[in-house]
Amino acid sequence: MGGIMGGAPTKPDTSAAEESLRMSREQTAKATKAAEEERRERGETMSAKKRALTRGGSRMLMADRLTPETGIDDEEYKKTLG
């Protein structure tokens, strides 16, 4: 089966569809990468907050009252602690 003149059938032009598919794949890849980056940053932030609460919270609050080497310096604080 051929054309009017009996030649071989030609393939339809799909360059526009191929270009559209390529652009769609690029956009999907960009969106995926952005979502992964946001998820990673959110995880790092949560991890940093958790670490600050568990490791440094109490010491940071008492930093103005004592020195780590000697403990509580002021007599007033010794009275309140018993």
pLDDT 10s digits, 5-36 = 666 677 888 888 899 999 999 999 999 999 99
Report the length, in residues, of the chain: 82
Residue 58 tokens, joined: 């109490």
State residue 2's pLDDT score: 52
Exposed/middle/buried for residue 36 (C-beta within 10 Å: 0-12, 13-18, 19+): exposed
* Contact assessment for residue 72 and residue 65, using Cβ atoms and an 8 Å cutoff: yes
Mean pLDDT of 61-68: 54
* Contact assessment for residue 10 and residue 18, using Cβ atoms and an 8 Å cutoff: no
Could you tell me the pTM of the whole model? 0.46
Closest CA to 66 of 57, 54, 52, 77: 77
State residue 70's pLDDT score: 60
